[in-house]
Amino acid sequence: MARAFSIRRQRGFTAIAVACFFALYLPIGVLVFYSFNAGESLASFDGISLRWFAKAFQNQQVIDASIRSLQIASVAAVVATIAATMAALATTRTEPYRGLTLKYAFINQPLMIPEIVTAVALLIFFARIKIWTGYSGLGYLIAAHTAFCIPFAYLPIRARLENMDLTLEKAAADLYATPWNAFRYVTLPLLWPGILAGFMLAFVISLDDVVITEFVKSAGQDTLPTYMLGQIRRSITPEMNAISTLFLLLSIGVVTVFFIVNRKRV
Amino acid sequence: MTDAAGTIEAEQSKDIRKRWLLSLPALLIILLAATGPLLIVLLYSFLAPGPYGDVQWAPSLEGWIGVFLEKDIFDETLSLASAHISIFMRSVGLSLVTTILTLLVGFPTAYFIATRPEKTRELWLFLITIPFWTNLLIRTFAILEVIRNEGLINGLLIKTGLIAKPIQMLFTDGAILTGMVYVYLPLMVLPLYASMEKLDFRLVEAGYDLYATPFRVLRKIIIPLVKPGIIAGSILVFIPALGAYVTPSILGGGKNMMLGNLIELQFGQGRNWPLGSALSITLMLIVMVALLVYVRNAGSQGSRHG
Amino acid sequence: MAELNAVEIRQVSKIFGFGEFAFAAVDNTSVSIRQNEFFTLLGPSGCGKTTLLRLIAGFEYPTSGEILLNGENIAAMPPFKRPINTVFQSYALFPHMTVAENIGFGLTMLGKPKQEIKSRVDAMLKLVRMEALAGRRTSQISGGQQQRVALARALAPQPKVLLLDEPLSALDYKLRKDMQIELKRLQAETGITFIFVTHDQEEALTMSDRIAVMSSGKILQVGNPREIYDAPADRFVADFIGETNFLKGRIGSVVNGVADVDTSVAGRISATVPQDFHAEGEVTVVLRPEHATLCPPDQPAACQMSGTLENVVYFGTDTHYHVRLSDGETVFTLREQNKPLQAARFSAGDRVGIALEANAARVLRN
Ligand SMILES: Nc1ncnc2c1ncn2[C@@H]1O[C@H](COP(=O)(O)OP(=O)(O)OP(=O)(O)O)[C@@H](O)[C@H]1O
Ligand SMILES: [Mg+2]
């Protein structure tokens, strides 16, 4: 029997898509699977065990790096989200004004330049400042992360603002709300999902960063990704898989929250 | 009588001033920790290298000369830096192929997601978003697990007796390409999906109504309509691919370098900051030229369709 | 002392754009709106109705001119200080608040005590018959219900003037009819001045105390519905409100406000002349379709005009006839009420005569 004609169907597309999803998840699946390996090496699977997870939890370097990663990501994401929210308010829902295009270019600039170039630039710049000030704390990493998180946080906030009905604030003004009250009681509550999405995006982007961190960090400032990069280059044990699995879990958790927040459209 | 016109103008300039104030924190942070330092890179590329890294405060073109030419260690003659040239070529080539491959795989995938019924679409989208949010390093590591000599593929092949010795897949251009397609694919699918989601399927119906075959509908209606997504996706893949550092350094090893690794080398063992700076600026220029060419081409094609 | 006008617009202009792109959305317009009246702005799309309303609400500032509220110039006052509320065309209900919170918003912003807000919201809910849905989100109620909430929200702070921008245009025909009656009732009950915008002439005629007809940023005529319909000030108003036939002719003697006009197609007809209007030579005469009837062409005494019936359109309550007059150019429209079980007396292609009712024709001010 002939298949009913569907206007949406394109020959072969479904096969490619399914293959694509399969290929995306197979390596991740292998990686997770081997994190439960009881054996020493990745060459063979010698039964299920949690020993590598236990090992990772006892590894002081891993713990320190994880804490550092979370510290940097939290501070950078909060600051970036606040700055991005303000910038989004300043660049949307207006007649074009002088300097608006410049602002767009500036805010999106970190996206338009290969990360390695920014990394090199920050290495040079911060090296100078370190010499001048003598300070070599986490501040540099936090500043760098904040800067490249801003465009990511800006994206969903701006999108949400642009889809927001302008007349709502007009209506608030009509009902005796001062500009601040209109912002406080109408704009902000409606913008909230966008801000939350922006924050989570910024948080994950900061947490995942390798290149800029690798160049900017001072000695003993490994984050979890740079620690992992160092390990992968040396010798690989299933402990890496265990750490990766945990990291993966964290990412999936954040995506899930992101999805739920974005779905609940008011 | 009130000076109403004056009131409007005052209101407007007050509004614009408020808008500048609001955007100030973001602009300052980016200026200090992203854009500003780029200018310093430009400056450094025109200085002489210091003996243990860093620079000497003396103007010099050595960095820029080093990008394309190399000095013979013995007789100091200059010749074309063939190693650099081949790295340039490899970087641009691999990035282009990566962009094309991700587009070829990503387009049907995004289309597939966009044509799912409302309910299951969320799930597919969720599945494509997870890799997007997953650490790039972990995903590269996952590929490493699959293709290295003691990895999944070789392990299976040896176990089944098909081969005796592992096939060397790691540390080849093929490995880099596989890794880059794998890690950048979600960056292609998401913008493609975003524009396909808005696709009005009544236009597709109209196409079929006017005797177009499925392929011609794809070619003449769907692709022109989702062009913004194709452009966005290609840019989003091409830029990071060209500057890729993590993936080639893990999967390509020390020999199969890309530009990112070459730059890193100058700030590490190479201790030639001016050369590293000049290479960085060159990379940035290549990206800008590529962007311009791409956007212009896409633009003119778009207007022909429009 | 005469009572102050609720709103007075004095030579107000609103110009958008600059230089060669400058465009007057409201063009040096003056109008007075009385206390407690139902005042309607009527005009075609793009004529500046919304702009005029936004000027009164304070979302736009006039380029020149004054806007007086109870005698006080408010042209430069921000909207949140004006005791004027708006029912928006799209309702603009806050999606993150309940029906009751929406209605109470204005009072909250005014800093009224909680108790007062609650009782006022309850009263408003009752007024618009929405008590049962007070706790619902505004996204979970129907279009007609949203409309009521928008109305209640704007009425709750007891504004001096209520502005309504095509509040009924998103509703279906039946609901619109109900809401028209409801709006009239609310206006009578609250005694608030309503300024209502519509481009639906029937709505304007049935609801308003007075109507202002606008075109291209100017107000062409202000008057009660009868004046606007029966005595249109110019060709635009005559054409925009209801259907109209225009006949050209030469004016002859005028006796007691009735002129003898010599038209080429209909011969001599008598037409009312507007007061203090002195015309000579060429004039235009207007005739409403319902003020003419068809008659058999062989009774020249009863029929002023004759022609060929081009088509017959059945409308349920009445039937429209389009007659090509004997000059071969003018098409005259007339309308006859349908009677029970009676077929149309004429059919397309017939030669027919047209009889005009007494005082039907009117000379138009040029
Ligand atoms: N912010 C603006 N900038 C430029 N032109 C505008 C602006 N707002 C309105 N206009 C123009 O002013 C004219 C009047 O617009 P307005 O919205 O007042 O019309 P309207 O009578 O309400 O029409 P409608 O019945 O379609 O709602 C239109 O030609 C419109 O294009
Ligand atoms: Mg309007």
C49 lines ligand 1 (CB under 6 A): yes
Q: Which atom of ligand 1 is nearest to the CA of C16?
A: 4
The better pLDDT of the pair B192, B198 is held by: B192
User: For residue A2, is it within any domain?
Assistant: no
Residues A255 and A226 in one domain: no
Report ipTM for this prediction: 0.89
Among C62-71, C102-111, C175-184, C257-266, which stretch is predicted with the lowest mean pLDDT?
C257-266
Q: Which residues of B touch C65 (CB under 8 A)?
A: 4
Residues A25 and A144 in one domain: no
For C75, name the nearest residue in chain B, comparing CA atoms only.
B4
Residues A91 and A201 in one domain: yes
Instruction: Please report the pLDDT score of residue B300 as a whole number.
Output: 54
For C55, name the nearest residue in chain B, comparing CA atoms only.
B4
For chain B, which chains pass the contact test of at least 3 CB pairs under 8 Å?
A: A, C
Most confident of A42-51, B148-157, B168-177: B168-177
For A171, name the nearest residue in chain C, comparing CA atoms only.
C92
C153 lines ligand 1 (CB under 6 A): no
> Residue C49, Cβ neighbours under 10 Å: how many?
26
Please state the domain count of chain A: 2
Instruction: Please report the pLDDT score of residue B6 as a whole number.
Output: 61
Q: In whole angstroms, what is the distance from residue A133 CA to residue A111 CA?
A: 30
The model carries a pTM of: 0.83
- The burial class, CB within 10 Å (0-12 / 13-18 / 19+), for B120 is exposed
Q: Which residues of B touch A246 (CB under 8 A)?
A: none
Residues A121 and A243 in one domain: no
Residues A69 and A22 in one domain: no
Q: Which residues of C touch A176 (CB under 8 A)?
A: 80-81, 106, 109-110, 157
Residue nearest to atom 11 of ligand 1 (CA): C25
Q: Is the pLDDT of residue B306 over 70?
A: no
Alpha carbon of A89: minimum distance to chain B alpha carbons (Å) = 7
* Residues C27/C63, Cβ–Cβ less than 8 Å: no
Among B171-175, B226-230, C342-346, which stretch is predicted with the lowest mean pLDDT?
C342-346
Query: Between chains, do A115 and B240 touch, taking CB under 8 Å as contact?
Result: yes
For B11, name the nearest residue in chain C, comparing CA atoms only.
C61
User: For residue A6, is it within any domain?
Assistant: no
For C12, name the nearest residue in chain B, comparing CA atoms only.
B4
Q: Which atom of ligand 1 is nearest to the CA of C23?
A: 5
If you average pLDDT over residues C16-44, what whole number do you get?
91
Cα→Cα distances B260→B241, B249, B281, Å = 10, 9, 12
How many angstroms is it from C219 CA to the middle of ligand 2?
15
CATH fold of C243-364 reads OB fold (Dihydrolipoamide Acetyltransferase, E2P) (2.40.50)
Q: In whole angstroms, what is the distance from residue B107 CA to residue B223 CA?
A: 10
If you average pLDDT over residues B220-234, what whole number do you get?
91
Q: In whole angstroms, what is the distance from residue C148 CA to residue C143 CA?
A: 9
CATH fold of B82-305 reads MetI-like fold (1.10.3720)
At C179-214, the pLDDT tens digits run 899 899 989 988 999 999 998 888 999 999 999 999
C48 lines ligand 1 (CB under 6 A): yes
Most confident of B281-295, C200-214, C239-253: C200-214
Alpha carbon of B75: minimum distance to chain A alpha carbons (Å) = 32
Residue A229 dihedral angles phi and psi, to the nearest 5°: -60, -45
Cα→Cα distances A194→A255, B95, B190, Å = 14, 33, 18
If you average pLDDT over residues B11-39, what whole number do you get?
90
* Residues A245/A32, Cβ–Cβ less than 8 Å: yes
Q: Is the pLDDT of residue B131 over 70?
A: yes
Residue nearest to atom 1 of ligand 1 (CA): C16
Alpha carbon of C327: minimum distance to chain A alpha carbons (Å) = 54
Q: Is the pLDDT of residue B2 over 50?
A: no
The H or E element spanning position B72 is none
Q: Which atom of ligand 1 is nearest to the CA of C48?
A: 18
Q: In whole angstroms, what is the distance from residue A114 CA to residue A118 CA?
A: 7
CA C52 to chain centre: 15
The H or E element spanning position C10 is strand C7-16
Contacts of B177 (CB under 8 A, 6+ apart): B94, B97, B98, B101
Domain limits, CATH 2.40.50.100, in chain C: 243-364
pLDDT above 70 coverage of chain C, percent: 99
C217 lines ligand 1 (CB under 6 A): no
User: For residue A1, is it within any domain?
Assistant: no
User: For residue A261, is it within any domain?
Assistant: yes
Please give the mean pLDDT across all residues of chain C: 89
Q: Is the pLDDT of residue C366 over 70?
A: no
Tell me which DSSP letter residue A223 carries: -
The better pLDDT of the pair B14, A70 is held by: A70
Instruction: Please report the pLDDT score of residue C259 as a whole number.
Output: 87
Asked if the C-beta of B57 comes within 8 angstroms of chain A's C-beta atoms, the answer is: no
Instruction: Please report the pLDDT score of residue A257 as a whole number.
Output: 87
Contacts of B205 (CB under 8 A, 6+ apart): A7
* Residues C162/C106, Cβ–Cβ less than 8 Å: no
Q: Is the pLDDT of residue B8 over 70?
A: no
> Residue A19, Cβ neighbours under 10 Å: how many?
13
Interface test with B, best of C64, C68, C72, C81 (most B CBs within 10 A): C64
Q: In whole angstroms, what is the distance from residue C77 CA to residue C68 CA?
A: 11
How many angstroms is it from C49 CA to the middle of ligand 2?
6
| Structural domain span for residue A24 | 11-49+239-266
Show the beta-strand stretches assigned E in chain B. Answer: 47-49, 55-59, 69-71, 78-80
pLDDT above 70 coverage of chain B, percent: 93
SS3 C12: strand
How many angstroms is it from C50 CA to the middle of ligand 2?
4
Which residue in the block uniquely carries the two structure tokens 């949307």? A92
Identity of the residue in A84, A207, A247 whose CB atom sits nearest the CB atom of B26: A84
* Residues C323/C309, Cβ–Cβ less than 8 Å: yes
The better pLDDT of the pair C366, A124 is held by: A124
Domain limits, CATH 3.40.50.300, in chain C: 7-235
Ligand nearest to the CA of C43: 1
Neighbours of ion ligand 2 (CB under 5 A): C 50
Please give the mean pLDDT across all residues of chain B: 87
User: For residue A96, is it within any domain?
Assistant: yes
DSSP code per residue over A17-78: HHHHHHHHHHHHHHHHHHTTB-SSSSSS---B--HHHHHHHH-HHHHHHHHHHHHHHHHHHH
Give the pLDDT of chain A (266 residues) as one tens digit per residue: 456 677 788 888 999 999 999 999 999 999 999 899 888 777 677 888 899 999 999 999 999 999 999 999 999 999 999 999 999 999 988 888 888 888 988 898 888 889 999 999 999 999 999 999 999 899 999 999 999 999 999 999 999 999 888 889 999 999 999 999 999 999 999 999 999 999 999 999 999 999 999 999 998 999 999 999 999 888 788 899 999 999 999 989 988 888 887 776 54
Residues A123 and A223 in one domain: yes
The count of C-alpha atoms lying within 13 angstroms of the C-alpha of C67, restricted to the half-sphere facing its C-beta, is 25
Interface test with B, best of C61, C63, C68, C72 (most B CBs within 10 A): C61
Region C7-235: CATH code: 3.40.50.300
Q: Which residues of A touch B139 (CB under 8 A)?
A: 27-28
Q: Which residues of B touch C (CB under 8 A)?
A: 1-2, 4-5, 7-8, 11
DSSP code per residue over B80-136: E-HHHHHHHHHHHHHHHHHHHHHHHHHHHHHHHHHTS-HHHHHHHHHHHHHHHHS-H
Ligand nearest to the CA of C199: 1
Domain limits of chain B? 2-79, 82-305
Which of the listed residues C13, C50, C61 should we mutate to test ligand 1's pocket, taking the one with most ligand atoms within 8 A of CB? Answer: C50
Contacts of C135 (CB under 8 A, 6+ apart): C98, C99, C100
